[in-house]
Each structure stands twice: as structure tokens, then as C-alpha cells.
A and B are shown apart, each in its own frame.
Chain A
Amino acid sequence: MRLYVKALLLCALLSPSAGFTAIEAYEFKNKQMEADYIKLVDELRCLVCQNQNLSASNAELAQDLRRQTHEMLMKGKTPDQVVQYMVDRYGDFVLYRPPFKASTLLLWLGPFFLMILVLWLVFRNIRSKQEIVPPDASSMQRAKDLLSEDKTRENS
């Protein structure tokens, strides 16, 4: 029984709706519009509490922007038009997924560049450790002597 409650709690915590503090009850014309709405409010950032998306934030601005999103969808705007509307007013920062352009090049490509750099360093390091340096003549002779010594001892 206890385990059951724990499992239920875990499910509640892990489900994406746990962050859904919205109390508005919006009606949509169809399922697709509702899906678009949910996707939009998940991907747009609330600028007041910057680490929350519109769906998770209960700030006044987030409520207003949810209302705006809903209204625009109901008026037949596409999700892309809603996103453009928000970007025109609040900038790329309103997007949780920044667009790929010159000013975000480092952001998008930086991690890959770093990964290649690190891989190159690691490979170089491993290879330098694997290089076999031929022993010089005197140590070679000594090794041979030791081996032959062993052999004579075994034979005797």
C-alpha cells in the first residue's frame, strides 16, 4: 500500500502537468488548436520569472501572454505567427529554443567544437603514451644477459 502511494507521488511529480499552475479554463475549437496552445505555452519563456515557461508561471505577465496566445489561436493565427508576434515584442529571449543565426552561432556550435577539441586532445594523449621507444643497445644487451642467465639456471 505504501509503495503504491509512493509510486503515485512519483508519477505526479514526474508528469509534465505538475508544473501547470494555470487556473484559466480555455476552450478551443478543436484538439489540434489545444495541442498547439500547450506546445506554445511550454516553449515560450515568461520574462518575469525567467526560468519558467508561460505554462508554469503564475506571474501576471505570463497570464496575459497565455491569454494573448489563446486569442491569437482562436482568431486563426498559426503557431508560427504567435511565436513571431512574441519575438517581435520581447526578442529571441522569449524562446526557450534560440534560433540558429550569427549571434547564436557560438551557442549552437560551441559545444560541438569543444567536444572535437577534447577528443583530439585525448587521442593525441593516448597515442603519445602508446609510442614504443626502442631500448638502447646497452639495456638490450643486459636484458639478453639476464635471460640467458635464467636459461642456464633452468638447465642446470
Chain B
Amino acid sequence: MRFAIPLGVFVLMAGLLGYGLTLDPRKVPSVLIDKPAPAFSLAKLHEPEKVLTEKDFLGQVWILNIWASWCVSCRAEHVIITRLAEKKLAPVIGLNYKDQPKDAKRWLQELGDPYDASLMDIDGRVGIDWGVYGVPETFIIGADGLIKYKHIGPVTQESLDAEIIPMLKQLTS
């Protein structure tokens, strides 16, 4: 009985710390969920004279995948994004973040271009508006122009099957 309190405290601490170990501190929940997609006006990678804004996508569900040629995990994610694009559930827009157009073009040539359109954010200002702090990041934006989902880090087959595809099916149905 004398040990009841210390033991209780220990079990509580161990439980909380153990739970803490299962959390990923790099995953900061986005404040943008259910908020309007931040405004942008960006030139297309392959047709720099053409500019797209967030308003061009109103009325449809779309995916924004933020990547860069210098980002190693984007390379790993590329095959998954390609699979996602092939399902044709929604247009996949690539946001080329803090990159050089020639590097980005070479990357897409080498690995294949899964994007319906690629936009250039050379100085990373649009990235700041979208709360990007590490590439790759993937957003799903609803037809109402609100952000529905954000994935931080490379999209894996598991997160594609368990979260992204069900979310897209639900939004487009």
C-alpha cells in the first residue's frame, strides 16, 4: 500500500512517455484544413508565359503536390504520385518549390511527368502561404476551394490507399 502512489505516478509517466514515443514531432497539424486555398499566381513550368491562379481550379477537386528536384524523398514519392495521377480521380498539380526550372524539367524528363500542370514557386513565397515547411507535401482541395487534407512528407502506398484515395472518392462522389 505504501508503494501505491509512487507506483501509480510511475505507471502514469511511463504511459504518457510511451505514447509520446509513438508521435512524430515533425508532423505539425496544418491550420489550413477547412480554410480557403491560399491565393497564388504562378507561371507554368513548361509554358512560362501562362499563369495559373487558385481560382482556375474552383469547382473541381484537385491535388497539389509540392516537390523539388533537390528533394530526395520526392524522388521516392514520385512513383506513388504517378500511381495517384493514373487513377484520374482528380487533376494532380505539381508545385515546384524553390527550384530551378531547368533542374525541374530534367527531373520530370528523367522520371516521367505525372502532373496535369506544373507550377513554379522559385523563391518559395507561395510555399510560405501554404504553410510548407518541408517537401514533399500534398494537399487535397475541394470543389468549394477549401483545403480538405494535407499530407506531410512522402506519400506512401499505405497513406494513398488508406487516406488519399478514400478522401478523393468521397469528395468527387
A: number of interface residues (CB 8 Å): 14
Interface of B is mostly: loop
Q: Which residue of B lies closest to A85 (CB)?
A: B128
State the CA gap A60–B132 with chains docked (Å): 12
Q: Does B172 contact A (CB under 8 A)?
A: no
Q: Among the listed stretches A29-37, A89-97, A129-137, A143-151, which one makes contact with chain B, having 4 or more residues with CB under 8 Å of it?
A: A89-97
The one of A47, A50, A87, A89 that contacts B129, using a Cβ cutoff of 8 Å: A89
Q: Does B102 contact A (CB under 8 A)?
A: no
Q: Are A50 and B128 in contact (CB under 8 A)?
A: no
Quick one: which of B33-51 are within 8 Å of A by CB?
38
Q: Does A83 contact B (CB under 8 A)?
A: no
Q: Does B134 contact A (CB under 8 A)?
A: yes
Q: Are B124 and A64 in contact (CB under 8 A)?
A: yes
Q: Are B28 and A47 in contact (CB under 8 A)?
A: yes
State the CA gap A91–B32 with chains docked (Å): 9
Q: Does B131 contact A (CB under 8 A)?
A: yes
Q: Are B29 and A91 in contact (CB under 8 A)?
A: yes
Inter-chain contacts of A89 with B (CB < 8 A): 31-32, 38, 128-131
Q: Does A154 contact B (CB under 8 A)?
A: no
Inter-chain contacts of A88 with B (CB < 8 A): 31
Inter-chain contacts of A61 with B (CB < 8 A): 124, 133-134
Q: Mark B99-126, 1 if CB is under 8 A from A, else 0.
A: 0000000000000000000000001110
Q: Are A91 and B30 in contact (CB under 8 A)?
A: yes
In the complex, the 4 A-B pairs of residues with the closest C-beta atoms, listed nearest first: A47-B133, A91-B31, A89-B131, A93-B28
| A interface with B by C-beta (< 8 Å) | 47-48, 50, 60-61, 64-65, 68, 87-91, 93
| B interface with A by C-beta (< 8 Å) | 25-26, 28-32, 38, 98, 123-125, 127-131, 133-134
* Between-chain CB contacts (< 8 Å), 27 pairs: A47-B28, A47-B134, A48-B134, A50-B25, A50-B26, A60-B124, A61-B124, A64-B123, A64-B125, A64-B128, A65-B128, A68-B128, A87-B31, A89-B31, A89-B32, A89-B38, A89-B128, A89-B129, A89-B131, A90-B31, A90-B131, A90-B133, A91-B28, A91-B29, A91-B30, A91-B131, A93-B28
